[in-house]
Structure 1
Amino acid sequence: MAVMDTQSATASPAGLIARLRALLGGSHETSVTKRLAGTIFLIRVLSAALAYFSQILLARWMGGSDYGVYVYVWTWVLLLGSMMDFGISASAQKIIPEYRTRGEHALLRGFLSGSRWMTFIVSSIVSLLLAGVVKGLSPWIDANAIVPLYVGCLTLPAFVVANTQDGIARSHDWMQLGLMPQFIVRQSLIIGLTAGAVVLGFNLGATAAMLASTAAVWIAMIGQMIVLNRKLGNHVEPGTRAYDFRGWLAISLPILMVESFYLLLSYTDVLVLQQFRSSEEVGVYFAVIKTLALVSFIHYAMAATTAHRFAEYHAQGDKARLSAYVAHAIQWTFWPSLAATIALLAFGKPLLWLFGPQFVVGYDIMFIAAVGLLVRAAIGPVERLLNMLGHQHICALAYALAFVMNVVLCVLLVPRFGGHGAAAATSISLAFETVLLFWIVRRRLGLHVLAFGKRRS
């Protein structure tokens, strides 16, 4: 009878709330991580809903051909914009905790301002050079893509600074400030601006959609900068600033190699598909990838939450705490990813239908693409662990090998199998990358970084 009463109390709404508070409450680092990762995940889910909604609207308003051009150009913006910050957005989660731990406040203040100025200036110069490249290659580029590509060049400096500010904010556990401007404000502005153009009677082609996206990126970045400066002013004591640009780059550039090869691995399928298949097929494949994005968001949430804590525990020399924290991060990456994958595959057809009836043909591609995402989730955010502990060079090599494999497989499979070949190439490459990272962490750190199996002591 007492057992039944206990079970009844646990199953009641009050009991469920109590269990949820016990799971997410508390000040222990695992509880804090769950709350912060939960915050990031919710932001990314809301962002995914907004992005999904915006992509559906754009696909219907623009038509298959223009939408395919927009996807192609926006993919280049995402790829290049994420690489042009020298890896500062990721290395900030290593540099800032180390400066705080060692009490190097002048260097900390210098990094908080100097990193943003550095990335803005260099990305502006690179954007001008890229515009020149577009002009030089214009005879060989699809005529409908030339003007959108120029607009994409205007987007890059703001995109890069926003990424840098995101890394700074996350290093202070300001997850909403780091992510909201990029993933919520920006998406909302894209929807509002494109909807306004349609209501006013403008033809929403690829150029107009890119102009709206560019305006959204700049507005969101400036707003984020204003709020971040205010919070840093209250959090960091004023004083002299020291700038160690060479030291920052020494840490950041190897991490940039890791991030770059990962991004290339992520976007190679879309870019190769564009070269061999029609814009309509690119649009269908992109819709499939967007539908599966929820799985990637879980991995991203844990990586964004845990990276600076890996660096902090390593700087403190607390190996036991680091090992336990890594195991926790892996568990909270894989099992939610598995649940999300099952749900998305179950409802894949109606989700794709939202883009338009013609997009449902990509449903079976979802199963192929999901394999790679699940395999990667099985080892959690170990690439961040390697980067934060100074093993970024070997991590970059693993990503480079996976990227080369992906390019080769895409070139071999895409011309014959289209989107199915692109998904297969990416999944095989992700599985290869996962095996390499597992082996590297096992050999160099002596950790069992797998969601199941016995953890090494």
Structure 2
Amino acid sequence: MSSSPEGPVQAATALAIRVAGAALVFGLQVLLARLLPEDGYGGFVTLWTWMLALGSFAALGFAESSVRFVPRYHERGRGAALRSYWRFGLLVVMGTGGALAAIAAMLALGIGLDGPGMTVLLVALGLPVLGLEYYLEGVARSLGWFRLAAVPVYILRPVLIGTTCILLSAGGVALTLPVIGAVLIGSMGLVALLMLLMLARQLRGAAAGSTVTTVQQRRLWLRVSLPLLLLSGLDDLASYADVLVLSLLVEPDVVGVYFAAVRALALAGFVAYAMALVSGRRFALDLAVADRRALQSNMLQSTRLTLWATIVAVGLALLAGPLLLGAFGEAFVAGQGVMAIMGAGLVLRAMSGQAGEALIVLGRQREGLLVSFGVLVVTLALSFVLVPELGAEGAAIASATAMACRTAALAMLLWRSDRLRVLSFGLPSLSRA
């Protein structure tokens, strides 16, 4: 991403980790689809999707605001400010997440633990852990510690979940929804604890000094983070709204088939994530030294890398579609149409490159919030119209259309507000990456 080879090497490392993680997650999904009945797997999908859709809210925007503050403090040698931000964010995320979980758990107990009440309880217990995990990942990638940001979450976590499920099944334990939920939450907790210990140790050496926090600093961090809470939360809700609507309108087995098709395209989705690991920090460093030309160049380069890597990944996934879906079971092969539609949507989304990261770095979170809200509205409206008529394919069409709207909105927004171009269809130049 920069003029040095550091950018492409870091992006390639992040992508390699996510490719390995995609294989592990895919294997985990196949394992669970085989161990659980079709409706049981659909129940797991519903639980996990609600956690992912609401996880960013639990991080309270600090996972995203770290991309703005941490690289700047680190670049300017402000170690005290960096450590103060780290500790303040940790306190806010853990304290607020625990309080909200307690309230949600009481609500679930009031509803009753039969049916939806159990899902509500498990989501309530899992969200604080997931929010902490998001925050720790955000701080790690903001400091350029990409392996620490990715390996525990995308390599270790699926290994823990899969191994535990195999051992439980071999021991004769029925993998009911409460059992699967406990395995998920326990695995996330272990991963978050490991990341917390490793980050705390790294930061002691990288940002030594006082950690006194002023009222003005705390207000600034909250003022920036809370709008990002809505921005990232709405973005995640929009990403998973299709699955959530499906879970309300169709049988669990249909939800399972749809989710399997989405999982089969996971590699293409991870391409954008790998670039985001590098891009947000690179954009922040460009702004820290007031190099507008470098910012524009890096934005276009990130778009080209994201777009063409996504096209290749989608093409490979579609070619292997029957094999990938068949691994879940014969009934899941019906998801090939969903794969094709969602693949087109991922390519349309990739055309905006890392525009979302640029908005955060530029302090345009309020404008980004409007974009995310609009994407969510489009997804929900089209899903409720199309799913009753077309089923899973209707949800895929709604999601792909929303991705196209997101790309168009981000491109227009960045051009009008900052005269920064986003769209670029040329081949990436690795010498400038």
**TM-score normalised by L of structure 1:** 0.90
Corresponding residue number in structure 2 for 1:435: 408
**Which stretch has the larger CA shift, 395-404 or 189-198?**
395-404
1:422 maps onto 2:422 in alignment:
no
Corresponding residue number in structure 1 for 2:431: none
CA distance in structure 1 between the aligned counterparts of 2:345 and 2:189, rounded to whole angstroms: 34
Corresponding residue number in structure 2 for 1:330: 303
Please give the residue correspondences for 1:304-323 in structure 2 after superposition, counting only pairs within 5 Å. Answer: 304-323=277-296
Corresponding residue to 1:79 among 46, 53, 72? 53
1:92 maps onto 2:63 in alignment:
no
CA distance in structure 2 between the aligned counterparts of 1:341 and 1:453, rounded to whole angstroms: 18
The CA deviation string for residues 143-178 of structure 1, in whole angstroms up to 9 with x for no partner, is 344334323322222211111111111111111111
Deviation for aligned residue 1:427: 0.6
CA distance in structure 2 between the aligned counterparts of 1:64 and 1:123, rounded to whole angstroms: 32
**Paired AA for residue 46 in structure 2:** Y
Is the CA contact (8 Å cut-off) linking 2:111 and 2:117 kept in structure 1? no
**Paired AA for residue 177 in structure 1:** L
1:107 maps onto 2:81 in alignment:
yes
Corresponding residue to 1:217 among 168, 173, 188? 188
CA distance in structure 2 between the aligned counterparts of 1:255 and 1:149, rounded to whole angstroms: 25
Is the CA contact (8 Å cut-off) linking 1:67 and 1:206 kept in structure 2? no
Corresponding residue number in structure 2 for 1:266: 239
Please give the residue correspondences for 1:374-453 in structure 2 after superposition, counting only pairs within 5 Å. Answer: 374-452=347-425
1:121 maps onto 2:95 in alignment:
yes
**Which stretch has the larger CA shift, 296-305 or 234-243?**
234-243
CA distance in structure 2 between the aligned counterparts of 1:186 and 1:358, rounded to whole angstroms: 27
The CA deviation string for residues 41-99 of structure 1, in whole angstroms up to 9 with x for no partner, is 11111111111111111111111111111111111111222221111111101111222
Deviation for aligned residue 1:209: 1.1
1:153 maps onto 2:127 in alignment:
no
Please give the residue correspondences for 1:9-158 in structure 2 after superposition, counting only pairs within 5 Å. Answer: 29=3, 31-138=5-112, 143-158=114-129
1:171 maps onto 2:145 in alignment:
no
Deviation for aligned residue 1:29: 4.3
CA distance in structure 2 between the aligned counterparts of 1:406 and 1:273, rounded to whole angstroms: 12
With over 3 angstroms needed to count, the CA separation of the structure-2 counterparts of 1:205 and 1:29, relative to structure 1, is farther
Deviation for aligned residue 1:364: 1.0
CA distance in structure 1 between the aligned counterparts of 2:260 and 2:189, rounded to whole angstroms: 25
With over 3 angstroms needed to count, the CA separation of the structure-2 counterparts of 1:170 and 1:29, relative to structure 1, is farther
Structure 2 residues without counterparts, runs of 5 or longer: 428-433
Please give the residue correspondences for 1:145-294 in structure 2 after superposition, counting only pairs within 5 Å. Answer: 145-243=116-214, 244-294=217-267
Is the CA contact (8 Å cut-off) linking 1:73 and 1:145 kept in structure 2? no
CA distance in structure 2 between the aligned counterparts of 1:398 and 1:283, rounded to whole angstroms: 29
**TM-score normalised by L of structure 2:** 0.94
Is the CA contact (8 Å cut-off) linking 2:352 and 2:407 kept in structure 1? yes
Deviation for aligned residue 1:32: 1.3
Is the CA contact (8 Å cut-off) linking 2:80 and 2:207 kept in structure 1? no
Corresponding residue number in structure 1 for 2:270: 297
1:344 maps onto 2:317 in alignment:
yes
CA distance in structure 2 between the aligned counterparts of 1:184 and 1:201, rounded to whole angstroms: 27
CA distance in structure 1 between the aligned counterparts of 2:4 and 2:15, rounded to whole angstroms: 16
Q: The residue matched to 1:241 in structure 2 has which SS? A: coil
**Which stretch has the larger CA shift, 231-240 or 348-357?**
231-240
The CA deviation string for residues 419-448 of structure 1, in whole angstroms up to 9 with x for no partner, is 100000011111111111111112222232
Is the CA contact (8 Å cut-off) linking 1:30 and 1:325 kept in structure 2? no
CA distance in structure 1 between the aligned counterparts of 2:116 and 2:156, rounded to whole angstroms: 26
Q: The residue matched to 2:223 in structure 1 has which SS? A: helix
CA distance in structure 1 between the aligned counterparts of 2:77 and 2:13, rounded to whole angstroms: 29
With over 3 angstroms needed to count, the CA separation of the structure-2 counterparts of 1:29 and 1:144, relative to structure 1, is farther
CA distance in structure 1 between the aligned counterparts of 2:172 and 2:10, rounded to whole angstroms: 43
With over 3 angstroms needed to count, the CA separation of the structure-2 counterparts of 1:29 and 1:169, relative to structure 1, is farther
Deviation for aligned residue 1:182: 1.2
Deviation for aligned residue 1:36: 1.2
CA distance in structure 2 between the aligned counterparts of 1:289 and 1:30, rounded to whole angstroms: 35
CA distance in structure 2 between the aligned counterparts of 1:298 and 1:30, rounded to whole angstroms: 21
With over 3 angstroms needed to count, the CA separation of the structure-2 counterparts of 1:111 and 1:83, relative to structure 1, is same
Q: The residue matched to 2:69 in structure 1 has which SS? A: helix
CA distance in structure 2 between the aligned counterparts of 1:183 and 1:384, rounded to whole angstroms: 21
Is the CA contact (8 Å cut-off) linking 1:30 and 1:328 kept in structure 2? no
State percent identity of aligned pairs.
31
**Paired AA for residue 170 in structure 2:** V
The CA deviation string for residues 253-310 of structure 1, in whole angstroms up to 9 with x for no partner, is 2222221121111111111001110000000000011111111111111112110221
CA distance in structure 2 between the aligned counterparts of 1:326 and 1:300, rounded to whole angstroms: 15
Structure 1 residues without counterparts, runs of 5 or longer: 1-23
1:366 maps onto 2:366 in alignment:
no
- Aligned pair count reads 426
